[in-house]
Amino acid sequence: MSIWQELEHKYFMNTVERVPVTLVRGQGARVWDEDGREYLDFVGGWGVNSLGHCAPVVAEAVVEQVHTLIQTSNQFYTIPQIRLAELLLQNSCLDKVFFCNSGAEANEGAAKLARRYGERYLGGAYEIITAAGSFHGRTLAMVAATGQPKFQQLYIPLPSGFVNVEYNNIEAIKTATTGQTCAVMLEPVQGEGGVNLPDESYLMAVRAWCYQKGILLILDEIQTGLGRIGTLFGYEQYGIEPDIMTLAKGLASGVPIGAILAKDRASVFVPGEHGSTFGGNPLACATGYATLKFVIDNDIAGNANRVGQYLIDGLKNLRDKFQFITDVRGRGLLVAVEFSQDIAQSVLMACLARGLLVNRLKPNALRFMPPLIIGEGEVDEALAILDKTLSNI
């Protein structure tokens, strides 16, 4: 254990079992540790570093903005947040935006917005239906929204007003809908819960049901948005439009930011009903603008789609070779492999020793979320390391 790692153990609350590497530098899809060892990064800051580490276009935007204006109060107009708002709304199906600092904060705000909508149009309805296996963040309310007992049992009693139902089951949503329901909240593809893909007609059926009942459809695109699954936003692939959408992770290349986007008719906040000190600050928004502009102008989503398919095909070849790979699934560059036994941690450590960073999704599954700018060459490299690792497991 290095001196830094010893200090970490001394000073930090014990919330995370870290991978025993201290990263000090990153460039593109590579990172380096304190001993100068190089790694190919297929974790990508948890799906954040879409343009790779320290992309020049991002670094330039940050440097320019820190010399210009970093933070003001939201009582004032600032230009970077208006430019980012316009770019986001011109390239999505939504009409209005609110900026905040993280995914959980974006989802909290979306839930509050849905409750205001319920108050205004649905006779005070406040309940939000979410799916088992979902992940919506770590605040108390979002733990209640997150349909996973392992996160919920620790914090009982949870805030009320969230109903978790079976994923990929439209009947379960219909049964759970009552006069108190104001919204359904889903991830287009469940990320943290297992890279779970929606059935062919599920999201369309949910969309139709929400229209029929006059309730809102909230899509949590914090992980799927900004090109991750092969289109700028995940909803584009499923023939639907949400009433509210949340974004965070990839939006500003690692400078903390979150966003709530809404259709005009769902945008019911009035002054004083919601706010954020740092939300939409010029630094985050200038970085977000540079990131999103690059993603759009260079069809980064198209690259994620193409290279993601190449990765999935390569992993399927490995599945044919190693019988203990039981599943390969994903969209774009949000991909998982599942094993018949709980070997994810040992595979992760063996990959690490060979210079590849991967994420343990479950005891028996790994997740890959590399930067969206990678090419086939990097995928070949990762597959070769995985192949060697799995041959020795």
Ligand X SMILES: *Cc1c(COP(=O)(O)O)cnc(C)c1O
Binding site for ligand X (CB under 6 A): 102-104, 107, 135-137, 187, 191-192, 220, 222-223, 248-249
Minimal distance in Å, beta carbon 257 to ligand X?
A: 9
| Residue pair 92/261 in contact by the 8 Å Cβ criterion | yes
CA count, 13 A, side-chain hemisphere, 220: 31
| Distance separating alpha carbons of residues 320 and 342, to the nearest angstrom | 19
DSSP track, 200-222: TTHHHHHHHHHHHHT-EEEEE-T
For ligand X, the closer of residues 52 and 258 by Cβ is 258
Q: Is 117 exposed, middle or buried (0-12, 13-18, 19+ CB in 10 A)?
A: buried
For ligand X, the closer of residues 161 and 191 by Cβ is 191
Q: Which residue is nearest to ligand X (CB)?
A: 103
| Residue pair 41/29 in contact by the 8 Å Cβ criterion | yes
Minimal distance in Å, beta carbon 48 to ligand X?
A: 9
For ligand X, the closer of residues 369 and 374 by Cβ is 369
For ligand X, the closer of residues 115 and 136 by Cβ is 136
Minimal distance in Å, beta carbon 191 to ligand X?
A: 4
Q: Which residues pair with 328 in a beta bridge?
A: 337
Q: Which are the catalytic amino acids?
A: 135, 220, 249
* DSSP character at residue 131: E
| Distance separating alpha carbons of residues 371 and 217, to the nearest angstrom | 29
| Residue pair 135/191 in contact by the 8 Å Cβ criterion | yes
For ligand X, the closer of residues 216 and 350 by Cβ is 216
Under 8 Å CB-to-CB from 389, ≥6 apart: which residues? Answer: 347, 350, 351, 354
